[in-house]
Structure 1
């Protein structure tokens, strides 16, 4: 039986209270559509970039009011929630993804490890890199792994999470608009699905100025199962865990791989 997952392709504002109200709206709609998990984009809690210094000032801890209130939304809608948080650090903040279960309890968090110092952006000016790969967690949608946006360009992360049992890879993202950027986004998401024989979903922030939206989802054979436009919208797709078994039985890449040669 398929499990429905929802992607909230949103535009965040600079104030977390505004984004919290948006979370409720999308979560309530996802619940009406019988989803069991909803994924929000990177930079969901507070928009990035901001004026110099504001991003740091608006950070919160994972015990702070925003995560607590998202937990209340999870409980009342009965949804697992995955979302981006501006987490307070020391001299700079962390770009963190939080996973809450349907009781609003923290099931995992991931601090983005590969910072977007590319294409004339320098995320490291405001953000500290995490130093741990996410350990996949069990959920109603299967065992989920996490990467954030630019992490998608580093296939080792998805492979290492797949080797730890991940069946579904989620990439909350704020993929910057630009020449060839959608082609790269689509190709890399599909590749992560095919090479790891898992479900892969990229939930991309949408904004007129910076981020393209155009979220995507692929099944373990690389078949597209959802596609967003350049706008705010809620997207849904089904996950059939038995399909992973079928694909991996037909093409057993994990038993055929030569891990003795490359040590992961």
Structure 2
């Protein structure tokens, strides 16, 4: 059984400040013997920022922010996952990117958010380029890891694709916007993705007074809740026991019972 830390944080528009916060949370996660820490969507730079310079603040995957996160990962022997706005060739738009760094300080994977939040009066596509492929799962100390970002959660195809690729722990770093019934939707969708794929599904939600609700939560392969955050910054933890996946899938072999002849994949 391994422990993963969920950093429910509030970012600022200053990436240097967010680096300092990252180290504080990483130190706390290390003290609790977590093997991995997850930071939310928009961690490097808060979105939407007050000075309207979000696009200008973008960095590459070789920039100062990622480079320092690599140093933290190596120093604290911690896997780190975090959201950032990645610079593109289009000076008017960024990628909404998740970076995955291993305990040796190596950037081993990244993911460009595929489903952009053009809903509830938001138009993420105005300043973000959509990704064109799902995340390919990677092996980590807590199991085979899959990734989606926020609005991706509403599209079950992404989680099923990754489950069929061997994912055991699916993580959704998010900035889930506050609103009527939004927590019910967040909770229900995370639990559904866990139950229907019989894997761990963990949400890490940005918190801010103005936009994002926090209230991170996650579920085991049988739908049991693992942790529950409130509306504030906090560090949460989930225990991952891969044997539980085997037990659940033996009792209810949904992947064996799938009508593959009726699906494209």
Indicate whether the TM-score tops 0.5.
Answer: yes
Q: How does 1:117-132 map to 2 (within 5 A)?
A: 117-132=118-133
Residue 250 of structure 2 is matched in structure 1 by 249
Q: Which runs of 5+ in 2 are unaligned?
A: none
- Moved beyond 4 Å, runs of 4+: none
Matched, 1:194 2:198: no
How far does the alpha carbon of each residue in 1:197-218 deviate from its partner, in whole angstroms, 9 at most, with x for none? 0001000000000000000010
Q: In the aligned structure 2, how far is the partner of 1:179 from the partner of 1:154? A: 20
Q: Alpha-carbon deviation of 1:50? A: 2.1
| Superposition pairs of residues 30-45 of structure 1, within 5 angstroms | 30-45=29-44
2:224 alignment partner in structure 1: 223
Deviations 1:92-116 (A, max 9, x none): 1000000000011011100000000
Distance 1:77 1:23 in 2: 12
C-alpha RMSD over aligned residues: 0.8
TM-score normalised per structure 2? 0.98
Preserved CA contact (<8 Å) 1:55 1:126: no
Q: How does 1:31-180 map to 2 (within 5 A)?
A: 31-51=30-50, 54-91=53-90, 92-180=93-181
Q: Quick one: distance in 1 between partners of 2:49 and 2:230? A: 25
Contact map agreement 1:9 1:235 (CA 8 A) in 2: yes
Cα pair 1:42 1:174 within 8 Å, conserved = yes
How far apart in 2 are the matches of 1:150 and 1:89? 21
Distance 1:176 1:212 in 2: 6
| Runs (5+) with no aligned partner, structure 1 | none
